[in-house]
Amino acid sequence: MRVINRHLRLQGLSAHLRMNHRKTWDLFCHVVDNLGDIGVTWRLARQLVHEHGRVVRLYVDDLNSFHAICPELNPRLAQQTVCGVEVLSWGRQQQAEPGDVVVEMFGCHLLPSFVDRIQQVGPGRVRWLNLEHLSAESWVEDAHLRPSPQPGGINKLFFFPGFTDATGGLLREADLLTRRDAWQSLPSARRIALRALGLPPPPEHATTVLLFSYGRSRLGSWLDLLAASARPTMLWVCPGPIMETMNNWLTMQLAAGQTTVRGSLTVAALPYIAQERFDEILWAADLCIVRGEDSFVRAQWAARPLLWHIYPQHDDAHTVKLDAFLARYLEGAEAPLREATRNLWMAWNQELALDNAWDAFLPHVTAARRHAERWCRSLALRTDLATQLRRAARDTEE
């Protein structure tokens, strides 16, 4: 009898410890397109390992896309450890036992055999979460942490990132803003970072612009305007369809690491940068033209003026999302800055000519920077996403 009691006590203790620590996390990433699915997942995986001491297994179905932002990764290996994260090819879940926490990224579907195993181990042993897309829309607050009952008695929990206290927050490493400030206060940091990418420093007094947007056909008249302007502009262009548009305008193929000059405009083609260093190019820019989710969030942490090229959706759902973010972001900004920002973002996203919106925005760059700093400070008051995700995994009872 005494032995049985002891056994039960130990079982209870181990369940208690598991609930509090939830040590092993399985993240699942299906790459739909581009780099954002793996970009968000990779950032979260590293933070869970380095700041939260979790054991993370990351299942990915496209190791080649992953390799673009993580050069240490060997896309031919089905199992490897990178930066303390165990990276596994998608098929490896066939044989795997679920960890303490299972996170589906962006509603990706797990293999049925893995779902069966989650159900076999039953409620209480595994926490199952679905990390959703980022949106500033207000309905997100109601949907955040809503359980969805699954066969087998387990609840899947919907976790929504967001910009308010009632959402899951944004990914932000604990030391991010301190590192950013240290980097930005070092006069040589930008030159060193650019040199590491094979690029020269920008021309003196140039407005520096990072261009990481989706493809856009109407860029020519804006580039003509920049080239003809009295004021120098430096454009750092990321790889992807936008570089093709740029090359068409330049009538040459600019290779990664090459720079060319057209009047007042200097264009540099960036290579793919390891994700750990991607922030530096945002920190270096006066304006960040970003897209998707992760670069969009990182530009906000860079505290620099930004222009968001939102991921286009067929049913125009992105227009609502864009409006929702602009409404939050521009709240409290002076009316002229509000109008200039909104017009520029709309012109970019609706594929309109940019010339007028650009000319109208430029006089507000300094105010836009002050506003971006304020916005960043206010966001930083909120608990970061990884910490909130851990809480959700620990606290929620089935």
Q: Catalytic residue numbers? A: 37, 293
Q: How far is CA 153 from CA 67, 128, 200, 390, 398, in A?
A: 38, 12, 59, 22, 8
Residue 272 binds to ligand TRH (criterion: CB under 6 A): yes
Site string for ligand TRH, 297-326 (x = CB under 6 A): --------------x---------------
> What DSSP string runs through 2-31?
HHHHHHHHHHHHHHHHHHHH--EEEEEE--
Q: How far is CA 381 from CA 299, 324, 378, in A?
A: 17, 21, 6
CB of 70 to ligand TRH, least distance (A): 8
Site for ligand TRH in 27-46 (CB under 6 A): 32-37, 39
Residue 294 binds to ligand TRH (criterion: CB under 6 A): yes
CB of 301 to ligand TRH, least distance (A): 12
Per-residue tokens: 382: 């909120």
Q: In terms of CB distance, is 107 or 149 closer to ligand TRH?
A: 107
The piece of 17-25, 188-196, 273-281, 372-380 that touches ligand TRH (CB under 6 A) is 273-281
CB of 215 to ligand TRH, least distance (A): 11
CB of 295 to ligand TRH, least distance (A): 3
Q: Which of 171, 293, 305, 325 binds ligand TRH (CB under 6 A)?
A: 293
| Rounded distance between C-alpha atoms, residue 56 and residue 15, angstroms | 20
Total residues binding ligand TRH (CB under 6 A): 22
The piece of 47-55, 137-145, 160-168, 288-296 that touches ligand TRH (CB under 6 A) is 288-296
Q: In what order do the strands lie in the sheet with 85-89?
A: 79-82, 85-89, 55-60, 24-29, 101-105, 127-131, 155-159, 146-149
Residue 183 binds to ligand TRH (criterion: CB under 6 A): no
CB of 11 to ligand TRH, least distance (A): 41
CA angle 268, 271, 273 (to 5 degrees): 120
Q: Which of 41, 135, 245, 295 binds ligand TRH (CB under 6 A)?
A: 295
**Which of 126, 125, 134, 160 minimizes the C-alpha distance to 145?**
160
Longest CA–CA separation in the chain, Å = 89
Per-residue tokens: 117: 């195993």
Q: Which residues bind ligand TRH (CB under 6 A)?
A: 32-37, 39, 69, 106, 212, 238, 272-273, 275, 278, 291-296, 311
